[in-house]
Structure 1
Amino acid sequence: MRVAVYPGSFDPITCGHMDIIRRSSKIFDKLVVAVLNNPSKNSMFDFAERKKMIEEAISDLDNVEVDAFNGLLIDYVSQKKYDVIVKGLRAISDFESELQMASMNRKLNSKIETLFMMTATEYSFLSSSLVKEVFGFGGNIESLVPKNVIGNMIEKFTEV
């Protein structure tokens, strides 16, 4: 069974993330969406909230699950005995930093492959940070995030 890991912060999950998840789930027997659980990072949503939003967004995908990791991604992937790391790329600027990380991961464990997947063109500009900024200024994010995320965004912004 070929298992791939799609890592990220997913704060919040976007339609660009979902594009990579849906396409990757067709290529691999199992896809693990691995949420970086970094307590020192100032995230809008805590790990439990991000995990729940992702689980709701992927509920129609039988071969996709959500997990968390701390520390080095390559250590997590090695420990779980997964085969591939999937990294989504939006633009050439993503490629440079992702290539460096993939090269380091390969140096640390040459058995783990990294697959780069270009996001769909309509999401090539999209990031979680941009979604939060647009939403914070009252912009419409309906076409940028899964439907279940919008309620969570409204709730989070009314708490502040």
Structure 2
Amino acid sequence: MADRIARAGVYPGTFDPVTNGHLDIINRAARILDRLVIGVAMNIGKGPLFPLEERVELVRAETDSIAQRTGTIIEVVPFEGLLVGFAREVGAQVIVRGLRAVTDFDYEFQMAGMNRRLDPEIELLFLMASEGNHFISSRFVKEIARLGGDITSFVPRLTRDRTIERVRVPNPGE
């Protein structure tokens, strides 16, 4: 039997913070791919809540169990620049993207066309968010946390604790 070529993919995002929706896509991509590189984008323009190093650390911590359970090699790597360049750099043949709604599709469709033009050898794999996660976004998680709401059902425990710690405004008497 000939050796099978390992299927490698990249799942990019800012992961600020990593949500249960992200983990759902990572878990499902890990069942399809042999190696998954999670590219944590620098993206300072979005004004991240967490510094890049902490986002990388949180994604690693939250994905260790997925790698162990699926047997997929999962790497978490910071990156900046063109996504297709990053995909080439890490040897990925596939870019994984999650879709939540029609509005995501419009944006992703345009980005897919641009990436395809930049490197036609890299395929795009779109995974629909699971029913329980289709409404979760990092932006909403941060907003709910800032306003004192409960984010327990949107993010894993470590990420929840760090997010609350980061947005917590100390009382003047503390």
Three-state SS of the structure 2 residue aligned to 1:58 is helix
Instruction: Say if 2:60 is the partner of 1:55.
Output: yes
Unaligned ranges ≥5, structure 1: none
Instruction: Say if 2:139 is the partner of 1:132.
Output: no
1:36 maps to which residue?
41
How do 1:20-31 residues align onto structure 2 when only pairs under 5 Å count? 20-31=25-36
How do 1:11-160 residues align onto structure 2 when only pairs under 5 Å count? 11-60=16-65, 61-62=67-68, 63-158=73-168
Amino acid corresponding to residue 16 of structure 1 in structure 2: G
Query: Deviation of residue 154 (structure 1)?
Result: 2.1
Whole-angstrom distance in 2 between the partners of 1:38 and 1:110: 25
Whole-angstrom distance in 1 between the partners of 2:120 and 2:163: 40
> What is the Cα-based RMSD across aligned positions, in Å?
1.3
The 8 Å contact of residues 17 and 50 in structure 2, kept in 1 or not, is answered as: yes
The share of aligned pairs that are identical, in percent, is 42
Q: Cα deviation per residue 1:56-75 (whole Å; 9 max; x = unaligned)?
A: 10111142110111111011
Give the aligned length.
160
Whole-angstrom distance in 1 between the partners of 2:45 and 2:110: 23
Amino acid corresponding to residue 118 of structure 2 in structure 1: L
Amino acid corresponding to residue 81 of structure 2 in structure 1: G
- TM-score w.r.t. structure 1 length? 0.95
Amino acid corresponding to residue 50 of structure 2 in structure 1: F
Please say which structure displays the higher CA radius of gyration.
2
Query: Deviation of residue 31 (structure 1)?
Result: 0.7
Whole-angstrom distance in 1 between the partners of 2:165 and 2:44: 21
Unaligned ranges ≥5, structure 2: 1-5
